[in-house]
Structure 1
Amino acid sequence: MLCLPSSLFPAMASATVPNSKLKLLASTALISHRTISGRRSPPAAILAVQLAIHRYPRLVVSRATDDGAGSIGADQVSGIEAFKSSAPGAGYVGLFVRMLGIDNDPLDREQAIIALWKYSQGGKTCIDEIMQFRGCITLTINLLKSESLSTCEAAAGLLRTISSVNPYRDSIAGSGAIEEITGLLSRSFLAAEVKEQTLCTLWNLSVDEKLREKIASTELLPALIKFLDDEEVKVQEAAGGVLANLALSHSNHSIMVEAGVIQKLAEILKSREGSNVTRKEAKSVLLEMAKDEYHRILILEEGLLLVPIIGAAAYKSFRPVSHSWPSLPDGTELERSSSSPSRFGASELLLGLNIKDEGLNMEEAKMNAIVGRTQQQFLARIGAIELENGRKPQLELPPDNQHTLLPWMDGVARLVLILGLDDQSAIARAAQSIADAAINEHMRISFKEAGAVQHLVQLLGHDSDAVRVSVAHALERLAFSNEVCKVIESNGVVDRIVDILKNMNTSKCLVEKTVNILARIFDPSKEMKTDLHYGSVNGSEAVLDVGSRSSEGVTRDKVLDSSVWSRLIEILKTPNPNLQKKAASILEYLAITEPHMLTTTAANIELGLVAVFQQGFFDVTEENIDNEPELSVVQAEEVGSAISAASQLLTKLLDSEPFHSSINSTRLILLLRKVLKSSIPLHAKDWVAACLVKLESSAGFPVNLDNPINMEVTLYGTIPRLLEQIRTSFSTEMQEAAVVELNAVIAKGGVDCTRAVAAQGGIFPLVKMIENASGDALEASLAILYNLSMDSENHVAIVTAGAIPLLRRLVLSEGPQWRHALHLLRTLPT
């Protein structure tokens, strides 16, 4: 490279260089360049202009905003007019642009692009001057292919400054910049400076919503994720900035998730290391993605919890106990190592933070709960609980829409702390976040150990309906864990729910959620499975702890109040399949524990069951039997679940002779037969068919009623053929197909088909299928045997075939069909 002595252009040392003198220097340098012999050297005019520009303040890099997105660009410095007066004129800019042509020497092109890059840093006016020359963008993008890292850096730098001006972004993207940048970033080796300038160009381009989808659809996402681990901090920040802008478009979320963005950004946030800018960008991306329920679950599975930002004022109501000794969530204190607490509670704080180092024999979940609570309470006491990096978060949206992301241990403790504040809005938002986070057993147990259950149960009696709805939703989600459900019940939730149900002014939403909680507590299948674990099926050999059962009885007595179960019967009549299903489940529990109470209101229960079976789609009159409206898939599933639960309830109630004698069996049989012809799922019809078998058998209903299928062909053709296939076929697939088909026939044919199966010796091969089948075939075998068990004459054959040990094994294995096996087991003598 040609080095020019300072004596050649002494005026460069001055603050202002006259334009005429600059032109003279450039001309002299060009003449000198032509007279030099030997190897090619860069035009001295370019160097002179570079040095002249370099004498002035460089561009201040700042972050611009456009539609909420960030970009890196150039703002004009205060002395821009002085700069313009001494900078090269349009003629020189045009000269440099022409020198970018591919027919010029590579070294000349390199010096030209460097000169233009430096000149563009003068601000928007300089950029506008460069953009007056058509083809400048195309020639600059072409230089991204250069093997020279200096050329690539300057070209990317010029694109970066130009793209900081809104009107020019489309021109850059339309000229193929994104595609060339993709190729450049895929190189095996690239200098940090080149990566920084290139990524900042993408950062600017991604401000435009139209360009985000184009950037996300290329192969850039893997590269952006890789650059988050770059050794250069500026490269990390630029990659994070591009991802933050891409996340502003919801259409990009699925592509970003598939590329592994959530896992990588969650790792950055959990590490508590790295640049604050990168961590802020990572949080911004994840918060945008958390607006989608599915993506929120993926973020939670990575160990991050969405926590509402409620403002410092809400924490003023936090009143920690002075000199409080760390204790377990249930209030049990740890053993003190000294007779009195320290003066300022320092020893208690240290013990809470270092509980894992104390050598205590304690579960890890309990230790995490203590550490998280200690940290969050300490931050609340010093007023720093919502400060980030020593500063308050900048809230651009209303506080009700603001959230942050915390590691799950801190997030659980923060949410439990908020439940103890006075702010109603904060409590409701925290309860909603708990409900959203309770997606697996680990999180439910974590909230239980942190003491959330006690707070939530107490808050069910809150004056605010919004708080009670959010709290009930949280308890409903937590109750999916049997362990947590027991803790919820032991904290007196039944009393709270009874008070809510008795109040006729309670909102429908709150009634639905409290009924869901009650259904989880009074789940008949859970009760029967508990009995089975203790060696009893029908209760004759129960060895459960009497004290535990009696304590449960104390809390459940209030449900037996007449006003409560009357309310449940009224819920059966409401056109809400989900509520009908839960109400039927609770009433089934009552039918098991206190059958005499439901017998006294048989007429009302029958009306409720009729309402469930009809569901607004069925009419019991014979004239309209074939005019059933078509159900959507979702409607059919919901209605089918409600009808199935009601059928289980009716089957249980039929064990009571007073109940059976007080109902209109003919009407119910007609309804159930019509339900079998409806479009509800087949698995829901299993329970309907079983109930119909029992109802027809006990009522002596005539066989000559219209059936959904041709009875003669079915009884003497189809059923014998299917049973023979189950007995003799050497193909497991054919046997399983025959069982599934036989189940479908029985579901349509009712009691006559069931009797035909028993009469032709079908019980023994069906019991054998339980041992060997799986999936749908196993479920079909259990359904057929359950229908057969509705007739007590078949019990001996089922037991003799060896069904009892097989059913016990299925229940204890907790496979997909354990509930079906349990219900069948309950009907058999043991």
Structure 2
Amino acid sequence: MGAVANSYCAPPSPCHPCYHHRLSLRHRANQPWAVTPAFARLRLGLVRPIARLFPVVCATGDGAAAESNPSSSSASPPDIERSSSSRSSSDGYVGLFVRMLGLDNDPLDREQAISTLWKYSEGGKECIDGIMQFPGCINLVVSLLKSESSCTCEAAAGLLRTVSAVSIYRNVVAESGAIEEISSLLCRPSLTSEVKEQSLCTLWNLSTDENLRVRIAKNYLLPMLVKFLGDEEIKVKEAAGGILANLALSPCIHSLLVEAGVIPKLADLLKNNSEDYKVIRKEAKTALLELSKDEYYRILIIEEGLVRVPVIGASAYKAFRSPTHSWPSLPDGMEIQRSSAPSRYGASELLLGLNIHEQSFNLEEAKINAIVGRSQQQFLARIGAIEVASVRKSQLESSQNQQYTLLSWIDGVARLVLILGLEDVSAITKSAHAIADASISEHMRISFKEAGALRRLVQLLQHNNEVIQEAVAHALERLSLSHIVLKAIEEEGALKHFKNILQEPNTSDVLLEKVVNTLSRIFEARNNIKMEFYDKVNDGSDHTNSDVAVDGSTEVPDPSSRSEVVEREMATDSSFISCLTEILRTSSPSLQVKVASILEYLVTRETNVAAVTAAGIELGLEAVLKKGCISGTPNDTDYQLEQNTVEIEEKGLAAAAASRLLAKLLDFDQFYEIIDTRHFTFLLRNILKSSVPLHTKDWVAACLVKLESKADKTSELEYPIKMEVTLHETIPRLVEEMSSSFSYQAREAAVKELNKIISRGVMECSKAVAAAGGIFPLVNLIEEARGEALEASLAILYNLSMDVENHSAIVAAGAVPALKRIVLIKGPQWTQALHILRTLPT
């Protein structure tokens, strides 16, 4: 349950001299008016008992406090009797003041009445009950919010604030139209900070009711609440932040809050370390933590420089052992030369971090931030200042319910890396998942690398707890999206651990998928390095003393490096190759794509082909290609078609990856001799004819052509397949270029190539163009093409017009007006256009 706004701020006491001074000022400023003797007697009869009963104003900090009895239990019996008699005498005047709120009374009388009732309501729940016993009282109070007097609006909003602090009266306040009237009041161009505070605190109290939050959020209040977060008055900021924190407790309102722009505003307030911002920081953190439960909104919060860190309890940090006698080092392992004995208290790293900006160190900003954050968090852990256990019971219960907190990215990254070094399984798991969630940008991934997260994550891959392994593999997978971090993961020796995990017989599917994804990225990056290096060598450039690195620099892989040794072990390990083959045969299409890319990299060396062939790679390729032959049926429902579209896309990508691997294996005779070329040709043909996406058919077509070229040498295949490639891959691809390309040159080249294919005289080619939807883009191209492109377009359209079934589509595409214009201007192609018009129905 969210917090309830308190009511510490009260108007001047009616018995106070300043109050009468303010009355005299109003008397001089407004129309002549004087307090009648009857009104004065009524007012004094109510106020004097209040002064005797409540010499100190009671604050209603929450619902329970507001509903509690304000009388002191230590009072003596005579005092109790005297208080009871005073309260009974004052209660008799409440009805009169409520009656004076009526619309038929003088505005200044109503102002005096509402101010007195507000003062009276701060006496506690019994006083509020005394006011609420009069039906329609709240409606009269709400009507006063329309007053042009700031004092009247303040008193009315203040009374609504104290009444709404009692849970049983919140619905009464809401049903009286208070939310709508307060919304209108807050829209006024000029309001005093007191009116804003009382109005917002009323909404703060009402927002604790889950049913009322939607009414508040769906009003036009959200933009105003965001604006009030930047108000000069701290109390107004706190009230606005409290409302937003309560609204964030309802997930259905999250989208409205984010669209209103609360995340940047709340993040700025949370990062403000001013002592005056203590309350607003708490409310901002509550709201942002609720929003961070959504994956997409969590990304927006991280982009504002905040990291979600798990709250694991102070006891978990007791296992932290800082290297107090070790000499400080940089996150990348660089040693610092010793100039004096290290501190026995382990403060050397802290002092280095605190003074790094004052020294002339030649360090990157990420390393500086990593040192500062790591030193600060380790120092806090050493002195036991992280998540201190000695807190009040209410705070302890709140921290147990709240499993995460938000820190600035420098401290958050360091804290997550520190938790990785603890012994608590749950803490390590939460930290690894938090690292994965925070790795949304290159900046954050590099920050985790510089903070020393990679070494600990790679070491945890060999942990005996599979839950930790899954979380760590997930973190490494997200971090490996950076080429620089990917190279660092490889240098930390992750390949060996990945190999061991894949060879484990009981590895879970989740862990298997994460490991395969990261491993495929490593091999793809290394393959790109080699290809880029060989391309530059073939260009004649001198790279003997340079390298081609994954981050764009030139770096040749060192064959003697540890990762190269592990790679050779992988390629020659029959059990590891067998594991990959089995995964290729039985896994999901998305995983098959990754495994195929790993095997493709391994077979770049001819020495590895024997081990891959011996592991039965043809069975895995056959299983993938058989899945690619399946397509949706016409009887599927819309939902099934949508599901089939996703599945077909994945199967098409898997078939393309398998075809690419098969094409590479066909270069080696030892593989070609053991496969059934007719069977693979049949599978590839079916994929080419299936409904898999067109962009996945490229490698299928290339592999078919390569099979045909190999078959020509041995005369094993007696039928050509190039025509099927043309019909099912080349023509649809050219039609797609004509219809979707933004470049006129690309469309012109596509129509010229398409004309060459159709000019061969094969009727199936024209049918393939029509079936691929080529008539409409062809007519559109006729309207803007010139020269050879126009001539090719007219030639294709003429061939299509020879089939009567295409006439309706040609006319519907608007070909007739376009052709008539060509004929009328007597251009070079007007005779071709005339022939087409004669074939079309008039």
What range is the shorter-chain TM-score in? 0.7 to 0.9
Q: Which residue type is aligned with residue 76 of structure 1?
A: N
1:39 aligned to which of 33, 40, 64: 33
Matches within 5 A, 1:299-698: 299-336=301-338, 338-342=339-343, 344-346=345-347, 348-387=349-388, 394-396=395-397, 402-523=403-524, 527-532=527-532, 535-536=535-536, 543=544, 544=547, 548-551=558-561, 552-560=563-571, 561-594=573-606, 596-598=608-610, 601=613, 604-615=616-627, 618=630, 631-698=643-710
1:78 aligned to which of 67, 71, 87: 71
Q: TM-score normalised to the size of structure 1? A: 0.77
CA distance in 1, matches of 2:247, 2:137: 27
- Aligned residue number for residue 711 of structure 2: 699
**Is residue 54 of structure 1 aligned with residue 15 of structure 2?**
no
Shift of 1:501: 1.6
CA distance in 2, matches of 1:657, 1:93: 103
Q: Is the CA contact 1:722–1:742 (under 8 Å) kept in the aligned structure 2?
A: no
- Aligned residue number for residue 278 of structure 2: 276
CA distance in 2, matches of 1:740, 1:51: 100
Q: Which residue type is aligned with residue 557 of structure 1?
A: R
Q: Which residue type is aligned with residue 78 of structure 1?
A: S
CA distance in 1, matches of 2:233, 2:390: 21
1:735 aligned to which of 742, 745, 748: 748
Q: Is the CA contact 1:116–1:158 (under 8 Å) kept in the aligned structure 2?
A: yes
CA distance in 2, matches of 1:676, 1:316: 62
- Aligned residue number for residue 194 of structure 2: 193
Q: Is the CA contact 1:61–1:74 (under 8 Å) kept in the aligned structure 2?
A: no
Shift of 1:510: 1.6
CA distance in 2, matches of 1:54, 1:424: 60
Alpha carbons of structure 1 residues 723 and 292: separation in structure 2 relative to 1, 3 Å: closer
Secondary structure at 1:327's aligned position in 2?
Answer: coil
Q: Is the CA contact 1:498–1:558 (under 8 Å) kept in the aligned structure 2?
A: no
Show CA shifts across 1:659-694 (max 9, x none): 223212222222222223333322222222222232
Shift of 1:91: 5.0
Q: Is the CA contact 1:342–1:348 (under 8 Å) kept in the aligned structure 2?
A: no
Shift of 1:231: 3.2
Show CA shifts across 1:180-224 (max 9, x none): 111211222222222221111101110111111111122222222
Q: Is the CA contact 2:95–2:134 (under 8 Å) kept in the aligned structure 1?
A: yes
Q: Is the CA contact 1:602–1:659 (under 8 Å) kept in the aligned structure 2?
A: no
Show CA shifts across 1:515-538 (max 9, x none): 112111111x65235532564488
- Aligned residue number for residue 831 of structure 2: none
- Aligned residue number for residue 140 of structure 2: 139
Alpha carbons of structure 1 residues 569 and 731: separation in structure 2 relative to 1, 3 Å: closer
Show CA shifts across 1:76-117 (max 9, x none): 312597655323566532222221122211000001111221
CA distance in 2, matches of 1:257, 1:399: 27
Alpha carbons of structure 1 residues 564 and 143: separation in structure 2 relative to 1, 3 Å: same
Shift of 1:386: 2.0
Alpha carbons of structure 1 residues 562 and 678: separation in structure 2 relative to 1, 3 Å: same
CA distance in 1, matches of 2:93, 2:62: 30
Shift of 1:325: 3.3
CA distance in 2, matches of 1:515, 1:310: 31
CA distance in 1, matches of 2:452, 2:726: 61
Show CA shifts across 1:470-501 (max 9, x none): 11111111111111111111111111111112
Q: Is the CA contact 1:304–1:405 (under 8 Å) kept in the aligned structure 2?
A: yes
Show CA shifts across 1:424-455 (max 9, x none): 22111111111111111111111111111111
Shift of 1:319: 1.2
Q: Is the CA contact 1:59–1:123 (under 8 Å) kept in the aligned structure 2?
A: no
Shift of 1:329: 1.6
Q: Which residue type is aligned with residue 594 of structure 2?
A: K
Shift of 1:294: 0.3
Shift of 1:652: 1.5
- Aligned residue number for residue 13 of structure 1: none
Secondary structure at 1:359's aligned position in 2?
Answer: coil
Shift of 1:154: 0.9
Alpha carbons of structure 1 residues 392 and 386: separation in structure 2 relative to 1, 3 Å: farther
Q: Which residue type is aligned with residue 521 of structure 2?
A: R
Alpha carbons of structure 1 residues 349 and 51: separation in structure 2 relative to 1, 3 Å: same
Q: Is the CA contact 1:531–1:539 (under 8 Å) kept in the aligned structure 2?
A: no
Secondary structure at 1:675's aligned position in 2?
Answer: helix
Secondary structure at 1:207's aligned position in 2?
Answer: coil
Q: Is the CA contact 1:591–1:598 (under 8 Å) kept in the aligned structure 2?
A: no
Shift of 1:699: 2.8
- Aligned residue number for residue 212 of structure 1: 213
Q: Is the CA contact 2:602–2:608 (under 8 Å) kept in the aligned structure 1?
A: no
Q: Which residue type is aligned with residue 463 of structure 1?
A: N
CA distance in 2, matches of 1:204, 1:77: 20
Alpha carbons of structure 1 residues 65 and 734: separation in structure 2 relative to 1, 3 Å: farther
- Aligned residue number for residue 9 of structure 1: none
Q: TM-score normalised to the size of structure 2? A: 0.76
Alpha carbons of structure 1 residues 391 and 464: separation in structure 2 relative to 1, 3 Å: same
Shift of 1:309: 1.1
CA distance in 2, matches of 1:720, 1:572: 29
Shift of 1:418: 1.0
CA distance in 2, matches of 1:408, 1:381: 21
2:299 aligned to which of 288, 297, 301: 297
Alpha carbons of structure 1 residues 714 and 653: separation in structure 2 relative to 1, 3 Å: closer
Q: Which residue type is aligned with residue 440 of structure 1?
A: S
Secondary structure at 1:501's aligned position in 2?
Answer: helix
State the 4+ residue runs in structure 1 displaced beyond 6 angstroms. 3-6, 388-393, 537-542, 624-629, 704-710, 718-726, 739-743
Could you list the runs of 5+ residues in structure 2 that have no partner in the other structure?
1-12, 17-30, 74-79, 548-554, 770-842
Matches within 5 A, 1:227-242: 227-242=228-243
Alpha carbons of structure 1 residues 644 and 405: separation in structure 2 relative to 1, 3 Å: same
Secondary structure at 2:656's aligned position in 1?
Answer: helix
Instruction: Count how many residue pairs are aligned between Structure 1 and Structure 2.
Output: 703
Larger mean Cα displacement after TM superposition, 547-556 or 476-485: 547-556
Q: Which residue type is aligned with residue 735 of structure 1?
A: E
Larger mean Cα displacement after TM superposition, 385-394 or 508-517: 385-394
- Aligned residue number for residue 816 of structure 1: none
Q: Which residue type is aligned with residue 309 of structure 1?
A: V
Show CA shifts across 1:333-382 (max 9, x none): 2234x432346455553222221211111111111111111000100010
Could you list the runs of 5+ residues in structure 1 that have no partner in the other structure?
7-36, 67-71, 758-830
CA distance in 1, matches of 2:420, 2:564: 29
Q: Which residue type is aligned with residue 288 of structure 2?
A: L
Secondary structure at 1:275's aligned position in 2?
Answer: helix
Alpha carbons of structure 1 residues 673 and 380: separation in structure 2 relative to 1, 3 Å: same
CA distance in 1, matches of 2:752, 2:522: 35
Q: Which residue type is aligned with residue 505 of structure 1?
A: N
CA distance in 1, matches of 2:217, 2:506: 51
CA RMSD, Structure 1 to Structure 2 (Å): 3.9
